């Protein structure tokens, strides 16, 4: 069987030279399946997880079909600022030997500089909100766009950007190539396909996470003791990078600051931070300077963060799809990974939904642990005995109201087994 190479896929020489410099030798599955179709000019719906190599796949089409100083010819829409940075920087690397200007457009930074840069842009990578701002100000021209990419489309729509995305699509020429990449394809994705794409070819790849390498466990714990259990587990692990997921900004700050006070190197990332701060945090985490990244789903989704050994769900997510996105951060590229959910009494309903569609979750007895020090409280109140809830709001409890630590395991496991049948 003939070996698949980037050259055999039709990738142009300037990109081949760039890939050689980066020591990128063998195409991933999504690259091998989509690059020839993209270069042929086909509309594509690509089903792939974060880290599968789709950025390079659509970059091959963008770079080949974009001519320097001919206006904005390629537009990539992404859901978050971090993704705009990540994708924009990747396109610049891949186009190192093919002169063209890639401009990143997102909120939280100076719009005036973006206005200046857009005057000479060939490629734009943008979040929907800030791009619409430029459209309304008449500071961007999209009448020459020939290739549109919707990256992490399901996340973009989950965040409520459907109407914004449609306004942007209506502002660019109908005669164009459209590439849509999404971890899941349903609902609003199908709406975009039917309304804005021309005979798209659907390409899906195997799940990038190796389930045989991923251990999924959950532990019962009371809300009052959840943070102390997390401290114990993180101190027991000595290697790798850790991601801890929370549902709110309030909880990410609570967890990160109290982990620091307990001697664990950690930092919080969420939408309430400035873009420069978020960028610095991710750079440090990539370089291994930070042991644990405490994050919300929005801040972390879509980012290609390598070598994550453990994922902890401090807060249980609302649906099974989001759970899959979280645990997909680990057990990549043939490496082992662990996903551990800390399950308190408030989490049973949401967790039952996840267990109904996931046969790999296993209960694990929680270890013995000491009470950890909590010095930072989101409410700013002092004194009294508080429990830390999922919402991040401490609440007073009487002794009679305090749940016993292991009273809920039989409830969740028995109900889930019944539902599986």
Q: Are residues 71 and 194 in the same domain?
A: yes
Does residue 306 surpass a pLDDT of 90? Answer: no
Structure tokens at 396: 């007073």
Q: Are residues 241 and 172 in the same domain?
A: no
Does residue 394 surpass a pLDDT of 80? Answer: no
- Supply the pLDDT for residue 85: 92
Residue 147 domain-assigned (yes or no): yes
Q: Are residues 157 and 233 in the same domain?
A: no
Does residue 264 surpass a pLDDT of 60? Answer: yes
CA distance readout (Å), 256 to 3, 71, 260, 288, 295:
47, 44, 6, 17, 9
- Supply the pLDDT for residue 417: 37
Q: Are residues 115 and 250 in the same domain?
A: no
Average pLDDT, the chain: 86
Q: Give per-residue pLDDT as tens, 39-91.
A: 999 999 998 776 778 999 999 999 999 999 999 999 999 999 889 999 999 99
Residue 56 domain-assigned (yes or no): yes
Residue 411 domain-assigned (yes or no): yes
How many Cα neighbours within 13 Å face the side chain of 286?
Answer: 11
Q: Give per-residue pLDDT as tens, 353-366.
A: 999 888 889 999 99
Q: Are residues 218 and 192 in the same domain?
A: no
Q: Are residues 26 and 73 in the same domain?
A: yes
* Domain closes at, from 179, 204, 229: 204
Residue 326 domain-assigned (yes or no): yes
| Distance separating alpha carbons of residues 106 and 114, to the nearest angstrom | 9
- Supply the pLDDT for residue 204: 86
Q: Identify the CATH number of the domain in which residue 30 sits.
A: 3.40.50.300
Residue given tokens 């002169």 in the structure block: 99
Q: Are residues 156 and 115 in the same domain?
A: yes
Q: Are residues 103 and 160 in the same domain?
A: yes
Largest Cα–Cα distance in the chain?
A: 72
Residue 53 domain-assigned (yes or no): yes
- Supply the pLDDT for residue 418: 36
Q: Are residues 309 and 394 in the same domain?
A: yes
Provide the H-helix boundaries in 172-319: 188-196, 226-236, 249-261, 275-286, 297-300
pTM of the model: 0.74
Residue 5 domain-assigned (yes or no): no
Residue 7 domain-assigned (yes or no): no
Does residue 298 surpass a pLDDT of 90? Answer: no
| Mean pLDDT computed over 212-218 | 90
* Host domain of residue 219: 211-420
Q: Give per-residue pLDDT as tens, 228-252.
A: 999 999 999 867 789 999 999 999 9
What domain count does the chain have? Answer: 2
Three-class DSSP category at 51: coil
Q: Are residues 277 and 375 in the same domain?
A: yes
Q: Are residues 126 and 218 in the same domain?
A: no
* Domain closes at, from 172, 204, 236: 204
Structure tokens at 398: 């009487």
Among 133-137, 153-157, 250-254, the minimum mean pLDDT is found in: 153-157
| Distance separating alpha carbons of residues 358 and 323, to the nearest angstrom | 10
Q: Are residues 299 and 384 in the same domain?
A: yes
Residue 4 domain-assigned (yes or no): no
Three-class DSSP category at 318: coil
* H/E run at residue 267: strand 266-269
| Distance separating alpha carbons of residues 140 and 142, to the nearest angstrom | 6
Q: Give per-residue pLDDT as tens, 40-52.
A: 999 999 987 767 7
* Domain closes at, from 156, 177, 204: 204
Strands 177-182 and 308-313: unpaired
């Amino acid at each position: 069987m003939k070996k698949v190479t980037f050259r055999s896929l039709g990738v142009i020489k300037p990109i081949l030279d760039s890939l050689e410099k980066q020591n990128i030798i063998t195409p991933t599955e999504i690259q091998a399946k989509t690059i020839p179709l993209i270069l042929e000019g086909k509309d594509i719906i690509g089903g792939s997880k974060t880290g599968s190599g789709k950025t390079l796949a659509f970059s091959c089409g963008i770079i080949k079909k974009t001519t320097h100083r001919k206006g904005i010819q390629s537009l990539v829409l992404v859901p978050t600022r971090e993704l705009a940075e990540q994708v924009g920087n990747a396109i610049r690397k891949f186009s190192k030997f093919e002169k063209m200007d890639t401009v990143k457009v997102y909120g939280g930074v100076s719009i005036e500089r973006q206005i200046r840069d857009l005057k000479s842009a060939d490629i734009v990578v943008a979040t929907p909100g800030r791009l619409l701002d430029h459209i309304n100000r008449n500071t961007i021209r999209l009448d020459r766009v020939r290739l549109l990419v919707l990256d992490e489309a399901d996340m973009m729509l989950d965040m409520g950007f459907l109407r914004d995305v449609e306004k942007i699509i209506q502002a660019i020429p109908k005669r164009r190539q459209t590439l849509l990449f999404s971890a899941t394809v349903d609902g609003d994705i199908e709406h975009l396909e039917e309304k804005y794409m021309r005979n798209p070819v659907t390409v899906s790849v195997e799940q990038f996470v190796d389930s045989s390498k991923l251990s999924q466990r959950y532990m019962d714990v009371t809300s009052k003791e959840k943070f102390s259990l997390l401290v114990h587990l993180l101190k027991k692990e000595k290697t790798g990078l850790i991601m801890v997921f929370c549902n709110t900004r309030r909880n990410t700050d609570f967890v990160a600051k109290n982990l620091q006070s307990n001697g664990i190197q950690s930092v919080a990332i969420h939408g309430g931070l400035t873009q420069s701060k978020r960028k610095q945090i991710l750079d440090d985490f990539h370089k291994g300077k930070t042991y644990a990244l405490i994050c919300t789903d929005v801040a972390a989704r879509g980012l290609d963060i390598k070598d994550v050994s453990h994922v902890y769900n401090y807060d249980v997510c609302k649906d099974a799809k989001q759970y899959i996105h979280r645990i997909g951060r680990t057990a990549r590229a043939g490496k082992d990974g662990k996903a551990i959910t800390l399950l308190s009494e408030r989490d049973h309903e949401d967790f039952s939904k996840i267990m109904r569609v996931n046969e790999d979750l296993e209960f694990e007895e929680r270890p013995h642990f000491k009470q950890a020090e909590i010095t930072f409280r989101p409410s700013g109140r002092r004194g009294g005995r508080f429990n830390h809830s999922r919402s991040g709001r401490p609440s007073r409890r009487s002794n009679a109201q305090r749940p016993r630590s292991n009273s809920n395991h039989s409830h969740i496991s028995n109900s889930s087994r019944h539902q599986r049948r």
